[in-house]
């Protein structure tokens, strides 16, 4: 019996299972534009444009007969950004293994981050004239070039410095600073600070602050009470004492809501940022920057989800602790704006 069992096992081993080669042509061909947009958050023309930007770096020489094409690598990453699901589920949607999916997502994320300087940049001085006009048309606030705010992105418990990442809401997060123009395009993104760090410190040590501190940029940035008042950074009056100051606050809030709307667009398009990232902080930072690059790219190509979101229906990070120190800097500038533009 033992000899017979060994013979049968050898026969089974000799029976080769035919290799299944997956059809890796173009999975977009079998989908409508609406289905493509629903799954990958971009239309096919934009997806191919994204591929054209990074496909040279995605093509790896291999002796194997079925290397993963750049298009599929991009689709895997976009699917992850659009869902935040586990790699196993993402890979199953395109018949690709979990490990290959993980490598593809990390590779595409890294390459998108390398495009940050190209797609996340502060406007040039000639471009700011149109931006000022658009901001002024919202609520009559003068000379505004961008709005700034921080948003909390949930992450998993980090292996090191765990306490630093606990945000004011009690969960592990990154405190990400972003600034945007009147068209919801992000002109600055700082994704590196733990959730416990105050908005004011993030701004104080950012390149955006240095631009205005050194005089390389002119104009006004609008922020909430979490920021210190500066000659170039306007925040609301905590206790307005007259009608001019009340109108100032109203105009500032109606203008500054653009950054909240931009956050809403970004997180609805890439729900992985809303539900949380199950990765270490450095990998989470890369994903946030990659999604910001894609957000701006979509605006450039007029391929966006919702240009005018319903702010009342979204979760807004509006509650902010007052900044410590520096509250009197810029007071004369703020009073001048309130009296001249809102004193009538």
Same domain, 326 and 269: yes
Q: What is the distance between the alpha carbons of residues 198 and 210, in angstroms, rounded to a whole number?
A: 18
Q: What is the distance between the alpha carbons of residues 279 and 71, in angstroms, rounded to a whole number?
A: 24
Examine residue 291 and state whether it is found in any structural domain, yes or no.
no
Q: What is the distance between the alpha carbons of residues 191 and 295, in angstroms, rounded to a whole number?
A: 15
Nearest to 180 by CA among 259, 234, 126, 253: 259
The predicted model gives 215-220 an average pLDDT of 91
CA 283 to chain centre: 13
- Structure-block tokens of residue 325: 């120190």
The total of other beta-carbon atoms located within 10 Å of residue 130's CB is 13
Same domain, 139 and 103: no
Q: Classify residue 158 by its DSSP letter.
A: P
- 56, 81, 113 - which closes a domain: 113
Examine residue 338 and state whether it is found in any structural domain, yes or no.
yes
Examine residue 50 and state whether it is found in any structural domain, yes or no.
yes
Structural domain that includes position 328: 121-280+306-342
Looking at residue 197, its pLDDT comes to 96
Q: What is the distance between the alpha carbons of residues 300 and 115, in angstroms, rounded to a whole number?
A: 14
Q: What is the distance between the alpha carbons of residues 295 and 187, in angstroms, rounded to a whole number?
A: 11
Same domain, 337 and 261: yes
Same domain, 197 and 162: yes
Q: SS3 of 100, please? A: helix
Q: What is the distance between the alpha carbons of residues 210 and 46, in angstroms, rounded to a whole number?
A: 34
- 66, 93, 113 - which closes a domain: 113
Q: SS3 of 152, please? A: strand
Residue 319: pLDDT band with limits 50, 70, 90: very low
- Structure-block tokens of residue 126: 């000639």
Examine residue 5 and state whether it is found in any structural domain, yes or no.
no
The predicted model gives 96-109 an average pLDDT of 96
- 61, 95, 113 - which closes a domain: 113
Lowest mean pLDDT among 55-59, 282-286, 314-318: 314-318
Same domain, 160 and 275: yes
Examine residue 18 and state whether it is found in any structural domain, yes or no.
no
Same domain, 106 and 125: no
Q: Which residue has the higher pLDDT, 9 or 95?
A: 95
Same domain, 153 and 276: yes
The predicted model gives 276-296 an average pLDDT of 97
Same domain, 51 and 126: no
Q: What is the distance between the alpha carbons of residues 172 and 154, in angstroms, rounded to a whole number?
A: 6
Mean pLDDT taken over the chain = 88
Looking at residue 82, its pLDDT comes to 96
Count up the domains in the chain and report the number.
2
Examine residue 294 and state whether it is found in any structural domain, yes or no.
no
Burial class (CB in 10 A: 0-12, 13-18, 19+), 176: buried
Q: What is the distance between the alpha carbons of residues 93 and 139, in angstroms, rounded to a whole number?
A: 46
Residue 24: pLDDT band with limits 50, 70, 90: low
> Which residues are within 8 A (CB) of 93 and not within 5 positions of it... i.e. 6 or more apart?
39, 79
Examine residue 21 and state whether it is found in any structural domain, yes or no.
no
Residue 249: pLDDT band with limits 50, 70, 90: very high
Q: CA separation (Å) from 43 to 39, 69, 183?
A: 10, 19, 20
User: For residue 228, is pLDDT > 90?
Assistant: yes
Would you say how long the chain is, in residues?
A: 344
Same domain, 160 and 265: yes
**Cβ pair 27, 44 in contact under 8 A:** no
Residue 4: pLDDT band with limits 50, 70, 90: low
Q: SS3 of 18, please? A: coil
Looking at residue 280, its pLDDT comes to 94
Same domain, 250 and 334: yes
Examine residue 191 and state whether it is found in any structural domain, yes or no.
yes
- Could you give the dihedral angle defined by the CA atoms of residues 43, 49, 54 and 56, in that order, rounded to the nearest 10 degrees? 120
Same domain, 105 and 154: no
Q: To which H or E segment does residue 194 belong?
A: strand 186-194
Q: Which residue has the tokens 């765990």?
A: 162
Same domain, 159 and 135: yes
User: For residue 177, is pLDDT > 90?
Assistant: yes
């Amino acid at each position: 019996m033992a000899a017979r069992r060994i013979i049968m096992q050898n026969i089974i081993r000799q029976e080769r299972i035919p290799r299944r080669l997956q059809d890796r042509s173009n999975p977009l061909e079998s989908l409508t534009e609406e289905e493509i947009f629903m799954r990958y958050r971009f239309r096919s023309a934009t997806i191919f444009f994204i591929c054209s930007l990074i496909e040279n770096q995605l093509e790896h020489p291999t002796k194997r007969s079925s290397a993963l094409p750049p298009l599929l690598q991009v689709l895997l990453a976009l699917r992850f950004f659009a869902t935040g699901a586990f790699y196993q589920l993402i890979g199953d949607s395109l018949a690709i293994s979990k490990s290959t999916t993980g490598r593809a997502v990390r590779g595409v994320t890294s390459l998108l981050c390398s495009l940050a300087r190209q797609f996340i940049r502060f406007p040039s001085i000639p471009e700011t004239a149109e931006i000022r006009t658009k901001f002024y048309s919202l609520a009559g606030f003068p000379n505004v070039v961008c709005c700034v705010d921080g948003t909390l992105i949930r992450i998993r418990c980090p292996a090191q410095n765990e306490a630093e990442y606990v945000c004011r809401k009690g969960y592990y997060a990154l405190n990400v600073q972003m600034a945007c123009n009147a068209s919801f395009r992000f002109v600055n993104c700082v994704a590196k600070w733990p959730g416990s760090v105050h908005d004011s410190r993030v701004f104080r040590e950012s390149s955006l602050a240095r631009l205005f501190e050194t005089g390389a940029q002119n104009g006004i940035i609008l922020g909430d009470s979490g920021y210190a008042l500066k000659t170039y950074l306007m925040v609301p009056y905590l206790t307005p004492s007259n009608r001019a100051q009340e109108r100032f606050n109203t105009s500032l809030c109606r203008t500054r809501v653009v950054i909240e709307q931009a956050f809403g667009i970004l997180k609805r398009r890439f729900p992985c940022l809303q539900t949380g990232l199950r990765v270490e902080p450095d990998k989470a930072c890369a994903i946030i920057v990659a999604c910001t690059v894609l957000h701006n790219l979509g605006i450039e190509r007029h391929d966006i989800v919702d240009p005018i979101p319903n702010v009342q229906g979204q979760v807004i990070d509006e509650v902010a602790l007052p900044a410590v120190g520096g509250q009197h800097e810029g007071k004369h500038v703020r009073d001048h704006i309130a009296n001249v533009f809102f004193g009538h």
